[in-house]
Chain A
Amino acid sequence: MTAMNRREALKAGGALVGAAVFASTGVLAACGRGEHAREDETRPASPGVLSREDQALMEEIADTLLPDTPSSPGAKAAGAGAAIQLLLTDCYEPAAQQRVVRGLGGFRETCRARKGAAFASLPRPEREQLLRDVDGEARKAPADTHWFPLAREVAERAYWSSQTGMTKALRYVQTPGHFTGCMPLAKGQPAWG
């Protein structure tokens, strides 16, 4: 019901609605890509917990974890930034949100200190190494203390639940029509979304 209302509202209000939300929340950094415009319309009910810069950084992290490959588009192409903002803002507790925000701040400093540049401007291999390092650090930290597992969880949720993730990386069939219990897995066949 809510989804329908949201889409109806967007249709009715057109650009004006989008502009108003953009102005008031600073969300929409990822908007405007024609192909994924509809997915990018996802916005939280309340002002986003991520600043525009943090949302952009989260999208870069998501796209480094889950990049474009020959088999499917990556997180950025899936409009993950807006979905990360939406899910983190509406579906996570304030303590978790703050852990991610603080973690992003620290991570930004780490990038500058180690590489002398912003994460987004680094070549992919260096971005990947930075994430492997922070991932390894998080795995050694006591449970539920480090920011990165949360950031990863939100980033992966945003990607794998997107239309791109569900239909291009995975295969989603809304109405299968029937159930077949056991059949050969074709070579390279993706998982069902």
Chain B
Amino acid sequence: MQAPEYDAIVIGSGISGGWAAKELCEKGLKTLVLERGRSVTHIKDYPTANLAPWELPHRVAMPRKLANENPLISKAAGYGEDTAHFFVKDADHPYVQEKPFDWIRGYQVGGKSLIWGRTCQRWSKYEFTAPERQGYGMSWPIGYDDVAPWYSHVEQFVGVCGNADHLEAMPDGEFLPPFDFNCAERHLHDSLEAHYHDRHVVQGRWAHLTKPNPIHLQQGRGTCQARNLCMRGCPYGGYFASNSSTLPWAAKTGNLTIRPDSVVHSIVYDDATGRAAGVRVIDAHTHAVTEYRARVVFVNASALNTNLILLNSTSPRFPHGLGNDNGILGRYVCHHNYRTGASGRLEGMFEDQYFYGRNPSECILVNFRNVGKQTMDFVGGYTTFTGGYRERGIPTDDHVGGAYKDAQSKPGPWGLYMYMQGETIPKYANHVRLHDTNKDQWGIPLLVTSVGYDDNDERMIRDWRTQAEEMLTVAGCTNVASHDNHQAPGLDIHEMGGCRMGRDPKTSMLNEWNQLHACKNVFVTDGACMTSTGNQSPSILYMALTARAVDRAVEEMKRRNL
């Protein structure tokens, strides 16, 4: 048998792929990271990072040409002429929407870790068990206690700011100092504490170095400068991205090879060994096909692309996709419900108070629905993000001339906003699959998305709007209004599932170590592995699960089980 070229292959260099690379390289494995997009080097390839608004071609306004040529991707949060180079172009990467689904992608070294939301809350112990106990899904094969040490492991390296708030619905982590509340946020916190027993507004738990530790300085990263220009790439390394952190760390070991412009076609299965032998890659530019071999493969291509690659990895043993003996690969795709938001004005309050700098984080109103037991007419919970802001401009009756201009240059009224991040139910019907005939420019079948909302989502939105309006009113807001933007699934950029973890190979794809039940040297540790969505932001969980799975993989390799 031919010796493997690498000990490990990681497909994808985003937030979880970067972690797989770091952990594998640190443990001494020769690791190949395959990235379908271009190379992006920290600092060097952040062309807009230091531009003032007036130095951008359209001063941060969206050029019509950019929006018209990219009607889909230009809807993404944070997309603009200052960040467009970190998002795909619509025309380059088609897919088929059987139901409306906005698939937001960032194809480059670092993936979407350059443009992520940076929110890092831990799941509570309830979220791992609620789907089964409350009858809307399947339990995870692991619980909070299995993940907790790995949360700590990754938080310490990433650098997560936040306050230890001792809340059951959102456990504390390894925190750097939090960003301040502004006076409107402090007021919201105090108002809700006084009026409710279960409504806790806490300072954002965000992947920002408010006060770097030695481990962060060793990565070459420094203090967050409160610029809030994160999605252009941070020349200070103030927030966590693969490019500033895990990938250079992995490279320092001497064990890392990164191949950009490498589109993965499939994982190659070896019938003789009953294992994956390696990965088939198409060069993005020349279309040359190469096969790389390794003892283990980590699939971190981003949730839906991981499904696509596995579905396209067919062999006589697995005619319906790698590991897909039960026919559920691509099924139970789910997302977070981001459809609703609310706002109100704090008329006449705190007019003599202001702030300095731009807070890159938001406050979190911790989930208070169905925590530990079913109490609502919907299942699942919701996290609410909230913040206080100060408008520009003192309102005037006259809108012409010097007095108007001078009033417009002063701070205006304070306001509060909220928006929901709601759990959705994993359903068999919500799925992705390969298109029968249509292929992309590399000859790979297009992905078909068939993912929609359900009545539970509608009931959750109704409750959230009622509660948000009530809480803003309790805080003394006027002009309180909520809305439902009816955005399609996917625009949340929290797509998950399709290759879920579980105890039973009949009903799940992955075991408790993120290994394919039916092909043990393939690990899936990105969003595809999610058994349910919980109500917390998922990225830090992907990172923790990745580090945990690498640890297991290396132990199994030492035992010669892999």
Contacts and interface: CB of A to CB of B under 8 A. Distances in A.
A24 interface: no
Given A3-B51, A83-B59, A157-B61, A177 B399 contact: no
* Secondary structure class of chain B's binding surface, majority of residues: loop
B26 to A, nearest CB: 32
Contact of B402 (A7, A67, A132): A67
Interface string B337-351: 000000000000001
A29 interface: no
Interface of A is mostly: mixed
B401 A128 contact: yes
Interface in B388-447: 390, 392-393, 398-402, 404-406, 408-412
A176 B59 contact: no
A180 B52 contact: no
Interface string A77-93: 00000010011001111
B57 A87 contact: no
A66 interface: yes
A131 interface: yes
Contacts of A45: 63, 65
A131 B404 CA distance: 13
Contact of A163 (B52, B409, B412): B52
Contacts of B410: 189-191
Nearest to A154: B61
B48 A3 contact: yes
B362 interface: no
Interface in A119-167: 128, 131-132, 135, 152, 157, 160-163, 166
A1 interface: yes
Interface in B226-278: 226-227
B102 interface: no
Contact of A90 (B64, B183, B226): B64
| Residue picked from B81, B358, B400, B412, most chain A C-beta under 10 Å | B400
Interface string A177-192: 1111111110001111
Given A161-B59, A182-B183, A183-B354, A93 B409 contact: no
Contacts of B401: 64-65, 67, 128
Contacts of A161: 53-54, 59-61
A180 B57 CA distance: 31
B119 to A, nearest CB: 17
A90 B359 contact: no
Contacts of A163: 52, 54
B56 interface: yes
B58 A191 contact: no
Nearest to A158: B59
A170 interface: yes
Nearest to B46: A1
B52 A174 contact: yes
A57 interface: no
Contacts of B179: 179, 181
Contact of A65 (B62, B226, B405): B405
B180 interface: yes
A183 to B, nearest CB: 6
A2 B181 contact: no
Contacts of B52: 163, 166, 172, 174
A69 B353 contact: no
Contact of A177 (B65, B357, B390): B357
22 contacts: A2-B81, A3-B56, A45-B63, A71-B406, A72-B405, A72-B409, A87-B58, A87-B59, A91-B58, A128-B400, A128-B401, A132-B399, A157-B59, A172-B52, A178-B225, A178-B226, A179-B359, A181-B359, A183-B355, A183-B356, A189-B410, A192-B358
Please list the 7 inter-chain residue pairs (A to B) with the smallest Cβ-Cβ separation, ordered nearest first: A181-B180, A176-B357, A179-B357, A1-B47, A161-B59, A179-B226, A185-B354
Interface of B: 47-48, 50-65, 81, 85, 179-183, 185-186, 223, 225-227, 351-359, 390, 392-393, 398-402, 404-406, 408-412
